[in-house]
Chain A
Amino acid sequence: MNNQYYDYIIFALKSFKSRKLRTFLTMLGIFVGIAAVVSLVSLGQGLQKAITEQFESLGANKLMITPKGGFYGMGSSVVLDKDDLKVVKHARGIRNAGGFVSKVASVEFGDERKYTWVSGLPQDDSKEIISDISSFKIAEGRDLKKGDDYRVLAGSLIAKGDFFDKKVRVGDKIKVENKKFEIVGILEPIGNPQDDSSFIATLDSAVNLFGGKEKYATIMAAVVEGEEPSKVAESLKRTLRRHRGVDEGEEDFSIQTFEEVLDSFSSIFLIVQSVLIGIAGISLLVGGIGIMNTMYTSVFQRTNEIGTMKAIGARNSDILKIFLIESGFLGMVGGAVGILIGVIIGKAVEFGAAQSGLDIFKASFPWYLILGSLAFSFIVGSVAGVFPALQASKLKPIEALRYE
């Protein structure tokens, strides 16, 4: 039995060889489609993977408390202040919590004045919660510490000279909202241009800059090890409600676990990716129709041959298999080349993105993408071959032989 299939495959290959041009063109149709799908999926997967990993390694047991309304809580009439932070810190199941502030401020270096995000991070023991999530790492100089008023850390693009005309170095002086600050450290690239061209100061000096009142953009809380973050979030919601004197369902703040953030992100991502893949998949459909066409032609041209095979004892099912395997092969070989090209395109885009500062863009090629596209292209080929193969298998030997 195995031997028989081997023969079918050999047969298919021989048939391709004698119709090189047509085979090549048919496969070209498939591999253009597969290349498009593979490169889109790989870039999408890569992006999602990078973001998920970042979230999971850093935010798994953390909660995010923001004022409701406004633009991510900014510009909202609701204020989360020191009292709220204290309540969060002492709530059941919370290990520690810290709040930070973040605004767009004017920044001057030399003769240049620009506007960018300036954040104020607490320097007490809650510091690690926030710097973990934001994945800040010091590349040069030193980190901020308690009492470091009027000292800042600068994002990597600022140090690279992509923000101001001149490169900013450790020890340089800048002005934030007309107050002098000294740069004590440079951050490693975080991956997106907005974060990488922002400044980080201590909470105290940032609060001073922003008008003196401590109004947190976000409070980050770490959950005690072993506690379920979603359950802690529920009980924290009750506690904060009581503290702020609001009824259930009328919360003026929202508490999100990172799982929720990740879920909502993933579902948006899934929609965008499905649309793109769906549109790219249209070309696979067209490629499949090309295979069908080639197979019809092939059946047509080999009518005599089919007659001969039938006359010497080939059954309908044998003929069917011969043509199905031939068209499946057309699809799969096209798929293999397509995957290769897709990988190259994915890597090229990754390289291009990295050049423009989007380090987070990594093309990813999980095994299921490769195997899946191979299987899919084989299926596209076989399905496209079904009608022509059926037609071939049903030919009557006498008619087939009479055909010229």
Chain B
Amino acid sequence: MPEAQYDDGRAIAPTGGGGAMDLATAEGETLEKAPAAPPGPGPAGRPRSLWSDAWHDLRRNPVFVIASLVILFLVAISIWPQLIASGNPLDCDLAKAQQGSQPGHPFGFDGQGCDVYTRTVYGARTSVTVGVCATLGVALLGSVLGGLAGFFGRAPDALLSRLTDVFFAIPVVLGGLVLLSVVTSNTVWPVIGFMVLLGWPQISRIARGSVISVKQNDYVQAARALGASSARLLLRHVMPNAVAPVIVVATIALGTYISLEATLSYLGVGLRPPTVSWGIDISAASPYIRNAPHMLLWPAGALAVTVLAFIMLGDAVRDALDPKLR
């Protein structure tokens, strides 16, 4: 719009930290040079987006870096446990049952006389797979359904709300006993499927509530007044602003899924030996916590570190996606 040009100056003022100061124009748009260069994002050379800014931010966040390294390490040993454990997790000697740390076996032995270190390393694969896949499934299904219901309202919303009520009424353990007892396969997938089935309503409720509160904001109305499509409103305006509580709840739930796998395995409907998982080992060790705490300590510690790493990752991502916290 070249005809909109005007020859008088514009005002520039610094924006100190988070507070804002105007470059406001007044009285014929007087030019006011800033005494200091504006801090924060550098010159406006290259257009930036929320995602590129978030990534720029994350790379400099020690919390994110540490959490990512821990998670990368976990993923690596899930794929190649032999990298750091030379033994066989199923190679057990009852004579050594419950024995403590000794050379070559730093974590000691469990109730069956298996090496705790090897089992903890090998258990990562099952536990991390269950935790990550169940969380991803729950978060995706829950936020898509909840987000759509919250955004469109009316009949889909009413239907979804009743449906989640029904799922909330199913007791998790009892549901697991019934549903998983018919499954014969001894892989993680039926367990993950069961967790997604029972877990999505929790996320969907949160996503729905969050979307409803976000969609009332004027910026969504403003985009609508510009003629934006529903997909654009949802993906560009509503979801990025509604996703924070979903990330928080999902990363916390990740730990619950890993322990739920243990509970189900303990009840005999989850995974069975020879599958190795932290859950199985934790439940097997829990009766002996007084006389042989090391049997519980190591797999439980590994679980705690894993959960913590994911929660830290979730927190860092959430903060990076909030420009106000930069």
Bound pair (A, B): no
Task: Report which B residues bind A (CB closer than 8 A).
Answer: none
